Amino acid sequence: MTLMGIANPIGRLFLASALSTAGSLMSTVALSTLIFSQTQNGMEAAKLQALSLFGIALAGIFGGFLLSRICAIRLGILSPLIAMALLAPFGLALEFVPTAMIYATVLCLSVLTGVEHPNLIRVINWNLDPEDKTRAFSNFQTMTQGFMIFSPFAAGVLISKIGFSNCILIDIATYAVSALTWLSVRHMGLTTVDCRPPSERKFWEGYVALTSHRAVRTLNLSRILINVSYVSFNVGLPIFVGSLSDGNAERFAALQGAALTALNTGFVVSGTLAGLLLRDQRRWIVRWSRISALIGFSSVCLVSMNIDAMVLLAVSFLMGVGTHFFRVSGMTLGSTLTPPNLLGSVIVAGDTVVRLASFGIGLTVPVISGVTVGEFHF
């Protein structure tokens, strides 16, 4: 089956996921800018990043049940529709939005992300041959990050040119197209439901597999350890940007958008070069995991020593390179080591464990970063 192309169902699902991701990232930049403009404090924006990690982990509590009981296409359509409903109030030209409302929206959007991602991965796993999966996952990640290069920069420009509420309306439009794309593949011959009878689907089956399979357990432990540096950077980014923005919301949006664009550019450059230079990418998967750990640790050390706009952009690019290695290696090894009929549930369980650990790390990052840049006060 051809992996890319709008006429192909897998290609369409890649597009749907990329659009949802772009909408989510634009919403994150917009909501971060909104809360910064109301509080003049990068610390509050950083809390949104930590909260999003908790939301993805929270999805694991009921995500396995949803994946085992609901058709993949139905979930694919419902997720962006719910996101549209959550963002709709922000499309109104409100003078002030309660901070609690912003937090609640980010939490709910991240829960949707925590369910949407494994939903797509399980469809890919059901419909592609094993030898095609590594290239498919690499193409999927590269395509998604390609959209993410443009979206944060676009969010910053849109906020400064047409305002926050209009930017949110455009975010809503991307979710609408994503829902329509999922709708368009309903009758294109994809396997989109769990073929096991309901009696064989257990709510905790993903967690059981996670603890009983040694290779899967080891993989998720390594994900937690490697993810420390990437969580630290992503959660600390709004604080670093806030310290360089002098209380100017437009500058905050522009610099945060530029940093996220640099990060996603690094991801795409890494994915493109890997696809061109490495014909058999499967041989490099374990090495990619090690490289991602080295890049993540080195980048966090570098930005901690020198908080400067150019250094921040350079480190963001490097973190993008490392993120590509980290994600593709984890997705490929995970799909290889996990029984196919349990993949969706194991992804949710693994993401829950990793994200809960990441949330714990994320809680400490605002304090440490705030002390570093002088924004944290007792």
Ordered by start, the domain boundaries in the chain are 9-193+202-373
Say if residues 79 and 27 touch (Cβ distance below 8 Å): no
Give the burial class of 231: count Cβ atoms within 10 A of its Cβ; 0-12 exposed, 13-18 middle, 19 or more buried: buried
pLDDT (0 to 100) of residue 200: 53
Instruction: Tell me the pTM.
Output: 0.68
pLDDT (tens place) for every residue of the chain, 378 residues total: 444 555 577 777 877 777 777 877 788 888 888 888 887 766 777 778 778 878 877 876 776 677 777 777 888 889 889 999 999 888 876 667 788 888 899 889 888 887 887 788 777 777 777 667 667 776 777 777 677 777 777 887 888 788 878 888 888 888 888 888 888 877 666 665 554 555 455 556 677 777 777 777 777 777 777 777 787 787 778 878 887 877 777 788 888 888 888 888 888 787 777 666 555 555 666 677 777 788 888 877 777 776 778 888 888 898 888 887 777 777 666 666 676 666 666 776 777 777 777 777 767 765 555 545 444 433
Amino acid residing at 174: T
Alpha carbon distance 231, 30 (integer Å): 20
Alpha carbon distance 83, 182 (integer Å): 15
Amino acid residing at 173: A
Instruction: Report, in this order, helix, strand and coil percent for the chain, each rounded to 5.
Output: 85, 0, 15
Alpha carbon distance 181, 336 (integer Å): 28
Contacts 24+ apart (CB under 8 A), 244-252: 244/307, 244/308, 244/309, 244/312, 245/36, 245/42, 247/40, 249/33, 249/36, 249/37, 250/159, 250/160, 252/32, 252/33, 252/36, 252/37, 252/42, 252/45
Output the CATH code of domain 9-193+202-373: 1.20.1250.20
Of 107, 145, 88, 365, nearest to 270 by C-alpha is 145
Side-chain-facing half-sphere of 247: CA atoms under 13 Å: 3
Biggest CA pair distance of the chain: 59
